[in-house]
Amino acid sequence: MNYNSICSPIGCDCVTFDDTYNKEYGVFTSPNYPTQYEDSIDCLLYVFIADTHQIVKLSCLSGDFVKVFLNQGSGDTGVNEYSVWNSVLCGKSLDEFQSVHYSTGSVLIFEFHSDAIPNNSTGFSGTYQFVNKSLFQTDGQLLSGSQCDYQFVRLGANDSVRGTFYSPDYPSKYPTNANCAYHFFAKYNEKVKVLFQTIQLQEDDQRF
């Protein structure tokens, strides 16, 4: 990928991360961390680029308010003043924000600014990993013509007795206006057992 194609449209400086160098995870920090970062940083992009079969996992260890752009594909040209940010990576109180985020595609970007007012903030630090998409692949059959309708059918003795299913883009945030159906069909003398291992819904989606 041409890293300049991501940063150049809005004239931002860029820090890119495309390897963990045979380690389980890599580390990113704000400028000068853990000492105070500079005032008046106009635009600094942190760009995490995985292989096409991977997604990016970002974990905040501590730090200031940072906006994250999760829905970046390998062919995207970057972010600008009109780009919609998805979430907050860090914050003054980590209880208010998620501390772990996943990209929907192979690229994740966050943007850092600092104002001209002197402060004692030390910035932020975190880790990144590149995770195989196959770890979050639904085992059912995607129904033709649908975006996220699946069926799980057990007819013969050789059919699997268990499997996994995920919401769209999991473990990243699911898209708005998603309407997905999961159909489970057991053999005539069996029952279907569905176990949710984790559920995190947006507030408006918790109303049934």
- Give me the phi and psi of 95, to 5 degrees please: -65, -25
DSSP-based three-state secondary structure for 16: strand
What pLDDT, on the 0 to 100 scale, is given for residue 69?
59
Only one residue has tokens 């975006």, namely 147
173-201 average pLDDT score = 89
What pLDDT, on the 0 to 100 scale, is given for residue 54?
96
Tens of pLDDT, residue by residue over 112-150, are 777 666 666 778 888 999 999 999 999 999 999 998 999
Answer whether residue 95 shows pLDDT above 60.
Answer: no
**SS3 breakdown of the chain: % helix, strand, coil, rounded to 5?**
10, 30, 65
Mean of per-residue pLDDT scores for the chain: 79
In the Cβ-directed half-sphere of 151, how many Cα atoms lie within 13 Å?
8
Give the integer Cα–Cα distance in Å for 22 and 46.
21
Burial of 201 (0-12, 13-18, 19+ CB in 10 A): exposed
Tens of pLDDT, residue by residue over 24-41, are 999 999 888 888 877 777
What pLDDT, on the 0 to 100 scale, is given for residue 195?
93
69-73 average pLDDT score = 54
Only one residue has tokens 């809005």, namely 10
Tens of pLDDT, residue by residue over 189-198, are 889 999 999 8
C-alpha distances (whole Å) from 188 to each of 31, 153, 156, 177, 185 are 62, 11, 11, 35, 9
Q: What single letter denotes the amino acid at residue 208?
A: F
Of the two residues 183 and 14, the one the predictor is more confident about is 183
Question: Which residue ranges form the domains of the chain, and what is each CATH number?
Answer: 3-133 (2.60.120.290), 136-207 (no CATH)
Only one residue has tokens 């501590």, namely 62
Which DSSP category does 6 fall into?
H
Tens of pLDDT, residue by residue over 5-19, are 556 555 678 889 999
Give the integer Cα–Cα distance in Å for 81 and 74.
20
